[in-house]
Structure formats: structure tokens, C-alpha cells
């Protein structure tokens, strides 16, 4: 009888321990689950997100899936439809969406200044705004992520269409700019298109809006207000993961691009490495803190957008911008 009791006790103890171990593992795996929609195809622009998912999400008890964007895949619409938990989009686009009735919260700013710049071939000799003449052809894109920055740039530099320059419609692709005389200067992202010219040995000049004193915010992380209110621990795990992903990418450029290559075999490592290095100054955050920002510098962009009619209503930046999760991360370190 004693022997039978002993066997039963040991078996029960084994099952109990095994069950507890499984539960802990299961709970850890399912603590938080979320998806992030980036706003274009994989590139160095999103290396921090990919590295965060691959290397740091599990450490934050987060099961994170990064989904690519592209034509017809608007992160704002997909977050609204609950297809994705979080999204990557231009801060200006999130402001505009809220102005039209949305209720999104910006929880981290990836680019303190927009990486949107203006590119011209060196042979055009356009180095400053004063080099733009009435005969200069500025390429205008059919919408996209630079639509508001482009108009603010014209407003702040006092460049008037068909007076100070000639507007020319151009496609997003850089092919015609490279192979033909499509236009004299065009909008691009500093961490993307210039790398193509570098690899082709084409000399060029860049005009950066931020160097002209134009304050315009870049891409950010956002989610529904409901997510912030109902799942703050999930939001915190996500922000921790993104900060750690970007920290690694900034410190270990080549390793980060290799991780990006594992995620998308079609990228060119040489181009994306150049892009990451060129864009570093835009990704380093505010006062050395990744994803952080002040609130005062947003007012200029908001005022410009209101004056141009892109925002119809007053903006309560303290309601739209919630940096508590970013602040919590740095307080814990």
C-alpha cells in the first residue's frame, strides 16, 4: 500500500511540475500579441522594426508580426479596421486622419525631422533655394508620403508654381530621373533614392528642409486610443521592442541590414546599408532618446498645415501625442 501511495505521489508531483512549466511557457508566449503595419516595402527605413521583431520582441513577452505596406495598404486604414494593432506613418498623415474624425494616438516618433529632401544631379548646379529659377523644373509626385511636406516646403521658401519654377508631374520610381532629363530637382527620402545614385556613381546635390529651418516631423508609431486605454502593457512592450530594435540597428549597421535581408531576400544589402548610414541623423531621436520628442516643435508644422488647409480644426497635441511609454522605458534603465 505504501509503495502504491509513493508511486502515485511521485507521478502526481511530476505531472504537476510539468504542467506548471508548460503553463509558464504558454503564458510567456501569449502575454502580448500584436501586429505592426509598415507603410512601404522593407528597406533601411524599417530596419529598427524588423530587428526589434526578430531580436527583442520575445524578451518583452511580445509576439510581434511586422507586415509590409505598399500600394493600397494604408497603415491608418488597416489599424482602423483592426487588421493591425500598430502602424507606421508620417506624423502629418496621422494628424490629418484625426482631423477628419479619427482617434489615433502617436506613441513614438521615429524621425524627429522628416527625412524628405530634394534631390538634383550635380550637373544642374542646384545647391540652394536661390539656385531655383523660373525655368527650373521641380518634379511633383502623384500623392504619397511627402504630399504635405512638399506644400509646406513651397510655402516656407516662397516658391510659387509657374512663377518661381515649373511644376512637372513625375512617377515615384527613380528610373526616368536617372536615365533621362525628367526634371531638374525632385522630392525623395534621404535614406532611400540617393543610395541608388551612389551605387551608380552619379553625383548629386541635396536640399534638406530642416537645414532651412523648416520643422516637420517624420514617421511615427501610432495606434487607436482604445488600445492605449485598454492595453497599456501591450503598448509598453511594443515601445520597448522598437527602442531596442533601433538602438541595435544604429550601433550595428551591418548586422542590422543582414537581419533585414533575412526578412526580405529581395533587398540589396549594399543599397540599404548606405541608406541606413545616410539616415542615421534622422533616426537618433530627441536629446539622444530614441522615439522621443518635445511638444513645442510640433506647433510650427501644425500651423503650416492649418494655413494650407490640410487641417481644419485646432489640434490638442497633448491629446494626440502620448510619450509616457517612451518615458517609462528610459526611467526603467
Please give the full DSSP string across 197-242, using - where no structure is assigned: HHHHT--EEEE-GGGGT-----EEEEEEHHHHHH-HHHHHHHHHHH
Long-range contacts of 299-305 (CB under 8 A, 24+ apart): 300/215, 300/216, 301/91, 301/92, 301/152, 301/215, 301/216, 301/217, 302/95, 304/152, 304/155, 304/156, 304/216, 305/92, 305/95, 305/96, 305/148, 305/152
Contact 135, 117 (CB under 8 A): no
DSSP assignments along 275-318, one per residue: HHHHHHHHHS-BTTBTT---STTHHHHHHHHHHTTS--S---HH
Euclidean distance between CA atoms 118 and 224, whole angstroms: 33
- What is 116-212's CATH topology? D-Maltodextrin-Binding Protein; domain 2 (3.40.190)
- Rounded CA-CA distance 48/245 in Å is 5
Q: Classify residue 192 as exposed, middle or buried by CB count within 10 Å of its CB (0-12, 13-18, 19+).
A: buried
pTM: 0.90
- Name beta bridge partners: 106: 222, 321
**Nearest Cα to 53, choosing from 223, 262, 322, 265?**
262
d(CA 197, CA 271) in angstroms, rounded, equals: 10
Contact 36, 88 (CB under 8 A): yes
Phi, psi of 330 (to 5 degrees): -75, -30
Cα dist from 330 to 137, 139, 253, 288, 333, whole Å: 46, 42, 23, 11, 5
- Determine the Cα–Cα distance for residues 178 and 330; give it in Å rounded to an integer: 44
- Structure confidence at residue 29 (pLDDT): 56
Instruction: List the chain residues with pLDDT less than 50.
Output: 1-28
| Cα distance from N-terminal residue to C-terminal residue, the chain | 57
pLDDT at residue 30 in the model: 53
Q: Is the dihedral of CA 272, 276, 278, 282 positive or negative?
A: positive
Q: Give residue 253's pLDDT.
A: 98
Q: What is the CATH number assigned to the segment(s) 26-113+217-331? A: 3.40.190.10
Give the Cα separation of 88 and 145 in Å (integer): 11
Report how far apart, in Å, the C-alpha atoms of 200 and of each of 41, 183, 204, 256 are.
22, 19, 11, 24
Domain boundaries, the chain: 26-113+217-331, 116-212
What's the Cα-to-Cα distance from 281 to each of 108, 111, 125, rounded to whole Å?
A: 17, 9, 25
Rounded-to-integer distance, Cα 50 and Cα 238, Å: 12
Amino acid at each position: 500500500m505504501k509503495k502504491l501511495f509513493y508511486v502515485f505521489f511521485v507521478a502526481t508531483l511530476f505531472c504537476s511540475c510539468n504542467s506548471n512549466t508548460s503553463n509558464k511557457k504558454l503564458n510567456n508566449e501569449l502575454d502580448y500579441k500584436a501586429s505592426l503595419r509598415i507603410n512601404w516595402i522593407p528597406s533601411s527605413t524599417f530596419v529598427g522594426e524588423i530587428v526589434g521583431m526578430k531580436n527583442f520582441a520575445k524578451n518583452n513577452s511580445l509576439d510581434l508580426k511586422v507586415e509590409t505596406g505598399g500600394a493600397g495598404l494604408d497603415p491608418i486604414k488597416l489599424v482602423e479596421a483592426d487588421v493591425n494593432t500598430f502602424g507606421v506613418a508620417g506624423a502629418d498623415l496621422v494628424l490629418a486622419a484625426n482631423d477628419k474624425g479619427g482617434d489615433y494616438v502617436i506613441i513614438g516618433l521615429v524621425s524627429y525631422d522628416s527625412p524628405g529632401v530634394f534631390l538634383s544631379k550635380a550637373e544642374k548646379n542646384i545647391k540652394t533655394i536661390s539656385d531655383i529659377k523660373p525655368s527650373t523644373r521641380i518634379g511633383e509626385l502623384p500623392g504619397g508620403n511627402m504630399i504635405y511636406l512638399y506644400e509646406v516646403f513651397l510655402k516656407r521658401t516662397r516658391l510659387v508654381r509657374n512663377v518661381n519654377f515649373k511644376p512637372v508631374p513625375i512617377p515615384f520610381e527613380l528610373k526616368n530621373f536617372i536615365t533621362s532629363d525628367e526634371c531638374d530637382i525632385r522630392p525623395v527620402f534621404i535614406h532611400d533614392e540617393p543610395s541608388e545614385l551612389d551605387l551608380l556613381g552619379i553625383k548629386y546635390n541635396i536640399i534638406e528642409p530642416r537645414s532651412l529651418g523648416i520643422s516637420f516631423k517624420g514617421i511615427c508609431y501610432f495606434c487607436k486610443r482604445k488600445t492605449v486605454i485598454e492595453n497599456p502593457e501591450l503598448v509598453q512592450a511594443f515601445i520597448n521592442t522598437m527602442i531596442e530594435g533601433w538602438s541595435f540597428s544604429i550601433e550595428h549597421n551591418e548586422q542590422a541590414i543582414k537581419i533585414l535581408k533575412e526578412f526580405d531576400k529581395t533587398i540589396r544589402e549594399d543599397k540599404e546599408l548606405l541608406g541606413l548610414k545616410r539616415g542615421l541623423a534622422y533616426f537618433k531621436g530627441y536629446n539622444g532618446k530614441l522615439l522621443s520628442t518635445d511638444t513645442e516643435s510640433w506647433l510650427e508644422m501644425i500651423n503650416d498645415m492649418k494655413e494650407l488647409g490640410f487641417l481644419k480644426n485646432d489640434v490638442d497635441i497633448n491629446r494626440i501625442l502620448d510619450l509616457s511609454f517612451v518615458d517609462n522605458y528610459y526611467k526603467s534603465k
